Amino acid sequence: MTKKADIGLIGLAVMGENLVLNMESHGYTVAVYNRSVEKVDKFVNGRGKGKNFIGAHSLEELVQNIERPRKVMMLVKAGQPVDDFIEKLIPLLDEGDVIIDGGNSHFPDTIRRTKYVESKGLLYIGTGVSGGEEGALKGPSMMPGGSPKAWPLVKDIFQSIAAKVDDGTPCCDWVGEDGAGHFVKMVHNGIEYGDMQLISEAYHLMRDYLKLSHDEMHDIFDLWNQGDLDSYLIEITRDIMGYRDENGEPLLEKILDAAGQKGTGKWTAISSLEVGVPLTLIGEAVYSRILSSQKEERLRAAQIIKAKVSQLDEEKEEFVNAIHDALFASKIVSYAQGYVLMREAAKENNWNLNYGGIALMWRGGCIIRSAFLGKIKDAFDHNPELENLILDSYFHDKLQAAQEGWRKVVSVAARIGIPVPTFSSALAYFDGYRTANLPANLLQAQRDYFGAHTYERVDKDRGEFFHTNWTGRGGDTASSTYQV
Ligand code: 2AM
């Protein structure tokens, strides 16, 4: 009998095909199945021809062809299809076998599915896979979480197909229990939204204020890609600036300014509100996409609203450097906020997250890959308990150096009327975070005035609460005097 498969895969769309080709090229035999079974033969006789694949035409055949303990990975549409396949696989599998979901599932679903699958005596992994179609083929960033006992069973396969950083370390490691892997993947996507919006704001200022040509912008992004901002997204932005259509004109300016989204940025923002941490930059990035999509309404508003703005004339080269600093400083804030979200969510969900390891998983293979993530890894190696990235000496020094340019860009943008929601929200967070006395004493006074919500005092111990009868009327419940 021929060799059985090391792993099985359900879902032969492009991501699934590329991932199994990647596995096969690393020496693994893969059994493959797809709901529309004609795709199985098409793949085995097409891209998979002459390679170590076993085509299965039913789930039973798939399972029978996998070596024990069996590993079955699904790369199917997120949502109900995942639950349906789990339901169909459970009776076909034996104790200790592993079901893996490599799709873009929402982490609460993965938490639920891990518990459910474990209750049936099986093991479960929900893994983030980032890097798009090319990453899946050549080496994605992988973020697995789920049943800890399943990790040693898939570790070799996952780490061999994952992207590698320069020293050969794979961009894949165990993230944590149940939904931790998909949670970290979700935060990755939120950070991606933020990074993309930051770069877009830089471009907006260069194009509409400095009136730079696309060749000039190409050269600036090329230069930036050789310094602190060295990253995949800056690199592709450079290439986009250089791209000309069939008429020799920049294609970029012919693309409609209405952004789409698939929802992972929104999930990240919602999760920050639920956990109770400020994730302002990613929130603004999501809202910016929404505002951009309201194209028709913006066109009408543009006819009606005439802003009162100043004409400024900044020295070009100096202002380009200031934009660089604003982008870099805001990016530090965005990652600082994302890491605070992960820390708080870890507390809530009893995950023991390895923050430096997460930076390393994102260091290569995925969309947010950058040199910067190496510095984040260093910061957590230096202090695993780091409260906020902003407090790490490397990032603190960089923020100090960038502050002047950052403030200049935000103030110039406000005066000339170009929106920079992520640059400015990052600055507001930075200033709020470093301010010893915020005006929240007034909020507390207002809350006590209209709702008798009580307040603590600066001259008394924390935990001691006071109420004032602000109006001299209504006794202790001042809310009775509040008329909306
Ligand atoms: P298909 O080829 O039969 O459509 C990505 O869309 C992958 O998810 C494909 O392999 C696709 O199978 C599968 N998929 C999409 N919706 C599905 C569903 N409702 N049930 C099972 N598989 C589904």
Per-residue pLDDT, 482:
44
Give yes or no: residues 341 and 291 share one domain.
yes
| Residues 325-344: tens digit of each pLDDT | 999 999 999 999 999 999 99
Asked whether residue 19 is assigned to any structural domain, the reply reads yes
Residue with the smallest CA separation from ligand 1 atom 19 is 81
Report the SS3 class of residue 342: helix
Q: Does residue 300 have a pLDDT over 70? A: yes
Residue ranges making up the domain that contains 323: 185-434
Asked whether residue 179 is assigned to any structural domain, the reply reads no
Q: Does residue 2 have a pLDDT over 90? A: no
Alpha-carbon span 56 to 64, nearest angstrom: 9
Alpha-carbon span 159 to 360, nearest angstrom: 13
Alpha-carbon span 269 to 280, nearest angstrom: 8
- CB 207 within 8 Å of CB 221: no
User: How many other β-carbons are positioned within 10 Å of the β-carbon of residue 234?
Assistant: 22
Residue with the smallest CA separation from ligand 1 atom 12 is 35
| Residues 393-415: tens digit of each pLDDT | 999 999 999 999 999 999 999 99
What stretch of H or E contains 55?
Answer: strand 53-55
- Catalytic residue positions, numbered: 185, 192
Report the SS3 class of residue 84: helix
- CB 93 within 8 Å of CB 70: yes
Residue 76 alpha carbon, nearest atom of ligand 1: 8
Q: Is 225 annotated as a binding residue?
A: no
Give yes or no: residues 235 and 347 share one domain.
yes
| Residues 27-74: tens digit of each pLDDT | 999 999 999 999 999 999 999 999 999 999 999 999 999 999 999 999
Alpha-carbon span 159 to 155, nearest angstrom: 6
Q: Does residue 474 have a pLDDT over 80? A: no
Q: Is 36 annotated as a binding residue?
A: yes
Residue 16 alpha carbon, nearest atom of ligand 1: 10
Give yes or no: residues 425 and 444 share one domain.
no
Per-residue pLDDT, 296:
98
Asked whether residue 392 is assigned to any structural domain, the reply reads yes
Give yes or no: residues 43 and 110 share one domain.
yes
Indicate the pLDDT class of residue 476, thresholds 50, 70 and 90.
low
- Count the domains in the chain: 3
Q: Does residue 383 have a pLDDT over 70? A: yes
Around ligand 1, the residues with Cβ closer than 6 Å are: 11-13, 34-36, 39, 76-77, 81, 84
Residue with the smallest CA separation from ligand 1 atom 21 is 81
CA 36 to ligand 1 center in whole angstroms: 8
Q: Does residue 481 have a pLDDT over 50? A: no
Report the SS3 class of residue 457: coil
Give yes or no: residues 94 and 228 share one domain.
no
Asked whether residue 277 is assigned to any structural domain, the reply reads yes
The stretches of 65-172 forming alpha helices (DSSP H) are 80-89, 107-119, 132-138, 151-161
| Residues 67-114: tens digit of each pLDDT | 999 999 999 999 999 999 999 999 999 999 999 999 999 999 999 999
Q: Does residue 180 have a pLDDT over 80? A: yes
Q: Is 22 annotated as a binding residue?
A: no
Residue 15 alpha carbon, nearest atom of ligand 1: 5
| Residues 213-263: tens digit of each pLDDT | 999 999 999 999 999 999 999 999 999 999 999 999 999 999 999 999 988
Residue 85 alpha carbon, nearest atom of ligand 1: 21
**Residues above pLDDT 90, as percent of the chain:** 95
Give yes or no: residues 128 and 257 share one domain.
no
Q: Is 13 annotated as a binding residue?
A: yes
Indicate the pLDDT class of residue 473, thresholds 50, 70 and 90.
confident
Give yes or no: residues 244 and 391 share one domain.
yes
Give yes or no: residues 189 and 337 share one domain.
yes
Q: Provide the CA 171 distance to its chain's centre, in angstroms.
A: 15
253: which 2 tokens?
Answer: 């300016």
Give yes or no: residues 329 and 216 share one domain.
yes
- CB 399 within 8 Å of CB 332: yes
Per-residue pLDDT, 478:
46
Ligand 1 test: best mutation among 77, 101, 129, most atoms within 8 Å of CB? 77
Per-residue pLDDT, 484:
45
Per-residue pLDDT, 429:
98
CA 9 to ligand 1 center in whole angstroms: 12
Per-residue pLDDT, 3:
87
Give yes or no: residues 159 and 189 share one domain.
no
User: Mean pLDDT over all residues of the chain?
Assistant: 96
- CB 31 within 8 Å of CB 3: no
174, 206, 224 — which closes off a domain? 174
Beta strands 141-146 and 123-130 are antiparallel
Asked whether residue 50 is assigned to any structural domain, the reply reads yes
